[in-house]
Homo-oligomer: A and B are copies of this chain.
């Protein structure tokens, strides 16, 4: 089964208007909510990941979703499933990392069960008070596309870790203890007075851009030379790497943000125009294109 096929089953099963953005926006309660899980040997291996880092990242990926909505990260619950080879020191270090990544948000509950692999599922709640909440479908023609954070570092870090290069440096840290773009999100959500789009780049920068393009029915025109990235990281990794937990936003031209302008939205067929070449989806064309260029 592909994830997209599954999401289609879930959408049709639930007939819900909430599924699509990084968070569900529960306007009657003034909150957004999200839930993301990390599974041992699927999302991380304990051979190269410390307990502190598992704790940090499991919280950070959820706070990143809250920030993508523009809400203020407020509360978290943590469900841990622990195999027998996990000891109490591991759990203590896990919670140190979780608490540090949570920042001002509070971990208020959760659940512990047994399992045969380490499994962490976190639910995060964000407050919407004083903030305007984003939607991927809210981009408008002529909006500028702004990105926070360097991209590609996390994928390069993962490659190093998988090669046994366990030293903690800029790249491995980007993968293991990503920094969530909370201030970038807050500045936009508290100050903007019109609809805007925002998404986190957990599945890659190109994926986030394509989600906004498809949901808004617009062409997003991007200049790759403007995307912040480390000079040692190749363009394919910058666009597709994933797990950098940057944010990409589409906001009016005259709205001031931090971050870097990498392009703008235009009327036209929904998709991405990358360095003046158009791609209607990222599953084949762009990916193969850059694969071919290597």
Question: Which residues from chain A sit less than 8 Å from chain B, CB to CB?
Answer: 1, 3, 5-7, 9-10, 13-14, 16, 18-19, 23-24, 26, 29-31, 33-37, 39, 41-43, 74-75, 77-79, 81-82, 86-88, 91-92, 95-96, 99, 106-117, 119, 121, 123, 125, 127
Known A6-B91, A95-B10, A95-B14: A79·B35 in contact at CB below 8 Å:
yes
Asked whether A107 lies within 8 Å of B16 as measured between CB atoms, the reply is yes
B-side contacts of A41, CB under 8 Å = 116
> In the complex the two chains form, is A42's CB within 8 Å of B106's CB?
no
Contacts of A91 in B (CB 8 A): 1, 6, 9-10
Known: A13-B99, A30-B29, A95-B10. A115 touches B42 (CB 8 A): yes
Known: A87-B1, A119-B115. A24 touches B82 (CB 8 A): no
16 new A-B contacts at CB < 8 Å, known A31-B31, A34-B77: A6-B112, A7-B112, A10-B91, A13-B95, A14-B99, A18-B106, A24-B108, A29-B75, A29-B127, A35-B109, A35-B121, A37-B121, A39-B81, A115-B119, A116-B117, A121-B121
